Every structure is written in C-alpha cells, then in structure tokens.
Amino acid sequence: MAPTITAAMSHSQEHHTLSHKLRKPLVEKQRRERINSSIEQLKSLLGPEFLKQQPDSKLEKADILEMSVCFLTQLQQQSQQQRRLLKHFTKLQSSSENHLREADCSALSSSVHSSSTKDKSPGCSALWRPW
C-alpha cells in the first residue's frame, strides 16, 4: 500500500480562507447597497419621466434602468440633431458672408470702374502705354 500524502493547511492559509469566507457576504452586501443607491438616484433624477410613464405603479429596478436608458438615448439623439443644425447654420452663415463679400467687391469694383471712366475725357479712351 502506497503512502497517502495529506495536504495539511497551514495556520495562515486557514486564517486566509476563513477571513475570505467571512468578508465575502459583507462585500456582496456593500455591492448591492451601491447598486440600490444608484438606482434610487436615477429614479429621483428622472422623476418627472417616471411619473409621465407610470404615475401610480411601483417601478422595479429593471423598469428604472430601462427608462433611464430610453431617456439617455433620447438626449443623445437631441444632442446629435442640435450639432447637425449648428453645423448647417454655420455653413449657411459662412456661405452668406461669402456672398456678401463678393457682392461688396463687385459693387466696389464697378464703382471704381465707373468713377475712373467718368474722370477721362471722351476723346482719351485709349490706354496710356509707357513705350
């Protein structure tokens, strides 16, 4: 018969295992408390939305999370629409400014051209050349 080897735990290993077993429920309880607290914060932040959807019913955690996701999705879509509108407005503004500059330049050049032709006598319409 072969000798059996028993793995005896050292005192420190037993203490670590016992400590872990005792801490695990406490850590889990704290995790659940954090989740519940965050869900309550969501519920209070989005209170008017919840009242619109289901005024007299008690909301489950899953309902609160789903409604929060829906609300945030709507906010994101509105934000994207506003960015698109702003971008479009900026393009329109830039375009209208360019048209105004072009109109100002053409008005200026025509006024300069008409004033220069008015200054010349009718018989002197030939260009002056220095050669």
| Per-residue model confidence (pLDDT) at position 81 | 92
Question: Is residue 31 in a domain?
Answer: yes
Between 62 and 110, the higher pLDDT residue? 62
Contacts of 9 (CB under 8 A, 6+ apart): 17
Q: What domain count does the chain have?
A: 1
**CATH number assigned to the domain comprising residue 97:** 4.10.280
Range of the domain at 49: 20-109
Question: Is residue 99 in a domain?
Answer: yes
Question: Is residue 130 in a domain?
Answer: no
Question: Is residue 124 in a domain?
Answer: no
Three-state DSSP class for 79?
helix
Q: How confident is the model at residue 30 (pLDDT cuts 50, 70, 90)?
A: very high
Alpha helix ranges (H) inside 61-128: 61-119
C-alpha dist (Å) from residue 7 to 4, 12, 62, 79, 124: 10, 14, 47, 63, 120
Question: Is residue 115 in a domain?
Answer: no
| Per-residue model confidence (pLDDT) at position 105 | 63
Which pLDDT tens digit goes with each residue over 71-92? 899 999 999 999 988 888 888 8
| Per-residue model confidence (pLDDT) at position 126 | 57
